[in-house]
Amino acid sequence: MTSTDGIEVRRPLEGAAGEVLTPDALAFVARLQRAFGARRLELLDRRVQRQRDLDAGHLPDFLPETAHVRAGDWHVAPITGDLENRRVEITGPIERKMVINALNSGASCFMADIEDALTPTWDNLMEGQVNLSEAIDRVISFTGPDGRVYRLNDQVATILVRPRGWHLHEKHVLVDGAPVSASLFDFGLHFFRNARRLLARGSGPYFYLPKLEGHLEARLWNDVFVAAQDALEIPRGTIKATVLIETILGAFEMDEILYELRDHSAGLNAGRWDYIFSAIKKLRSRPEMVLPDRAAVAMTVPFMRAYTELLVQTCHKRGAFAMGGMAAFIPNRRDPEVTNAALARVRDDKERESRDGFDGTWVAHPDLIPTAMAAFDAVLGDRPNQLDRQRPDVHVTAAELLALGKTPGQVTEAGVRLNVSVGLQYVAAWLGGSGAVAINNLMEDAATAEISRAQVWQWIHNGVTTAEGTPVTAAWVDGLVGEELSKIATAMGAAYGRFRWDDAARIFRDVALGETFQDFLTIPAYDLLD
C-alpha cells in the first residue's frame, strides 16, 4: 500500500502498476476526483430518485425544460481526420492479443473496452493501460503459447477507449479516504499517458461514454474534458467522445446529450443490448411492459425500431455521427452451417442499419468485418459517412419509445433456462477474469448477461407464466439453477473445476431472484475480485 498527498493505492506499485501509476499520473487522477467526485455522487442519487418516480407510475417523457434545446438550430463541432470514416468498428477488451488483432483486423476503428467486455481486475486494468500506450507507440507485441508472434501492421484501426461508467468505483485507489470514480480513473490515466502520443501521430484522444441516463451526466463529462485539456495545456475540443445511448432514459435526451458535449461530440451509438436491459430495469414494475424471451427482442420490434430511427435523425440534424449496434454473432470456423447462418443475420442487420442512415456499425469478431463493411460500402460508396441523410420522415413519440408491450413473442421454459445458463456461465467467466465470453455462438458481455438476469427478475415479479403453463417463480428458477449447473458441468468436464461456480450461482440468485432489483450485477461481483 502506497499513500501520499491524500492518495492511497492499496496494491503494490510494481510491474505494470509501477509503470502506469507514476506520481504525476496519480496526481492528475486525484485532481479530477476532487473536482468532480461530489457531482458524480449527486447524479447517482438523482438516478435513485428517478427510479422511485418510475416505480410510482411516472413514465419517461421528453423534458419540457429542455424543449428549447430540441427546437434550437445548433450543430456539434465538425468531425474530421481519422474519425471521419467509421463504417465498421470492432470492439473488445484491452487485453494484449486482442488489442493487436483488433487494430490489425481491417476495421475502421477499435473500441478498446475497459467496461462491459473487461473484468476490472487490478492486473487487467494496469496491463491494459500499458497495452494502449504500446499500441499507440506501435511497439506492442505478443507471443502465443505456440511461439507465434503478433505485431501491428502498417495500417491499423483508429483507437477509441471506453472507460467504466459513472456508477462504478475503483476500490484499489482512494483519494482523501474515498474510492476514486472508475470513470475518472480509467479516463484520467489514458488521457494523461496518451493524449500527446495520439496527437503526435495525427490522431487524438477519442472516447466512448457508457451508461449515461441524461444530459446532466453528459455535462459532467464535458466539464471533465475541459478540465483535463486545460490541465495538460491541450486545446479545448481536442477530445472527441461518442455517447452510447444504452439507457431508455437517455433516449429521451439525445438532443440534450449532444448539446452538452457539442464541442467534444463524435456522435451517438445505438448500444442495443444495454438498452434492452435498461428498458427492463427502469420499467420493471409495469406488467404491460414485460418482454418475451430474449431471442424475440430483435432490432425490428417496435420500441427498438423507434429508438434507432430517432437516434439517426437526431444525430444527423446536429451534424453528429450515428453509429449502429453490436453484431454479437460469432462465426464457428469448424461449423460452416453455423457460420453461414451468423453471416446471413449480420448481413440483414447491417444492411438495415446502412439503409436507415447509420454512418457505421459495431462487430464483435474479425470474421464479421467483411460482411458489415460490404453493407456500408454499398450505401456509402466513396463517401466517409451519410450525415446528409436527415430523415425528416421520422416522427417518434414517447409512446413509441415505450412500446415494449408490442413486442411479439412468448416467455418459454427454454427461454428461462437459457437466461439462467447464460447468466451463470458469464458470471463465472467474469469472476475468472474474462469479461467477453463466447456462449452458444454469441459474444456475451456484461450487457447481455444483464438482460438474462433482469428478464428472470421481471418475469418472477410480474407473475408471468410460461407458454407451457409453468408459473415463473423464484423457487422454480432456483431449481433451474441447479439443473443448469449440472448440464454445464457435464458439458465442460474437467474444465468445470477451474471456475468459481458457487460464487457465480450466489451472485446470479441475488440479482435475479432477490426481492430488490440490483442496478448492476457487476457491483456485487466486483466485491469478490481481489
Q: Which set of grid coordinates corresponds to residue 451?
A: 438482460
**Cβ burial, residue 120 (10 Å; 0-12/13-18/19+):** buried
How many residues make up the chain in this entry? Answer: 530
Q: Where are the alpha helices (DSSP H) in 138-284?
A: 182-200, 215-231, 248-251, 254-260, 272-282
C-alpha distance from residue 504 to each of 344, 431, 432, 452 (Å):
34, 8, 10, 14
Q: Which set of grid coordinates corresponds to residue 321?
A: 455521427
Closest C-alpha among 56, 31, 158 to residue 107: 158
Cα angle for residues 10, 15, 18 (degrees, 5° grid): 60
Distance (Å, rounded) from C-alpha 214 to C-alpha 228?
22
The answer to whether the beta carbons of residues 156 and 202 sit under 8 Å apart is no
Distance (Å, rounded) from C-alpha 390 to C-alpha 295?
31
Residues belonging to the active site? 162, 445
Q: Rounded to 5 degrees, what are φ and ψ at 305?
A: -65, -40
Q: Which set of grid coordinates corresponds to residue 432?
A: 475468472
Closest C-alpha among 352, 438, 405 to residue 92: 438
Distance (Å, rounded) from C-alpha 515 to C-alpha 316?
43
C-alpha distance from residue 327 to each of 95, 453, 463 (Å):
20, 21, 32
